[in-house]
Amino acid sequence: MIRAGLTATYPADGILSEESGATPGPPRARTWVVDPLDGTEAFVDGEARGYAVQIGLLIGEAPALGVVYEAHEDRLWWAVRGQGTHLEAHGATSGPLRVSARADLAGMPLVTSTRVDRARLARLLAVGLPDGGRLRSVGVKVGELVSGRADVYVSEHPISYWDSCAPLVVLEEAGGVITHLGGAPFEYALDPARGARHEGPLVASNGTRHAALCAAFTAAWNEG
């Protein structure tokens, strides 16, 4: 349904999705990056949260738009580059939204994937962060940061472009930051030879202590 709608509305654009791969032919000027259900395991397991519909837009290789719909909670996060992040929930719209300004590690909850290694999680929390819990879906965890329920998110495994494109715009337009563990920004090279994924680990935060957290988490990784 998503592919049909995008193709009918924007016939000149390409589509890159988890289920169908990339539109054949050379890269297009604009590419929609679609994950129709990020966090499939949470949905299949009947969990209340941890899955979302994610649709992002690349102009060239730059993320320009993101939509994350957390269906169970009826939360629709959307952001357009330069226009801020907004939330539609239960018939009401709010925004532009901002991540929290918290900078004291003791008050900055860390949210992680359900697959995080427990020993590594203990080392990450030892940096001084409170445990914000574990959830599936990149978009749902980014929603926790944008809502202010968490301030830091760490993923230790690689993620694909369709996992990150929409959440990245939603987070950055709300004032947050997401990078590789070493601080390098995400790249979206639409080159089949390079694959469509970012190697982990990744760190997302409200931005107030991002560089220091990356350095501390790097030490925690090396200890393992």
Q: Which domains does the chain have, with CATH numbers?
A: 2-94 (3.30.540.10), 105-223 (3.40.190.80)
Give the pLDDT score at 118.
84
Per-residue pLDDT of the chain (224 residues; tens, 9 = 90+): 999 999 999 999 999 998 888 887 777 899 999 999 998 888 888 887 889 999 999 999 999 999 999 998 999 999 999 999 999 998 899 889 999 999 999 999 999 988 887 888 898 899 999 999 999 999 999 999 999 999 999 998 889 999 999 999 999 999 999 999 999 999 998 876 677 889 879 999 999 999 999 999 998 877 75
* Residues whose CB falls within 8 Å of the CB of residue 81, separated by 6 or more in sequence, listed in order: 63, 64, 65, 169, 173
Give the pLDDT score at 193.
65
User: CB of 155 within 8 A of CB of 113?
Assistant: yes
CA distance 68 to 54: 5
Give the pLDDT score at 153.
96
Give the pLDDT score at 10.
97
Give the pLDDT score at 219.
86
Give the pLDDT score at 13.
96
What size, in residues, is the chain? Answer: 224
Give the pLDDT score at 222.
75
> What order of strands is seen across the sheet that includes strand 75-80?
21-22, 14-17, 30-38, 52-59, 62-70, 75-80, 85-89, 92-94
Give the pLDDT score at 95.
83
Give the pLDDT score at 224.
57
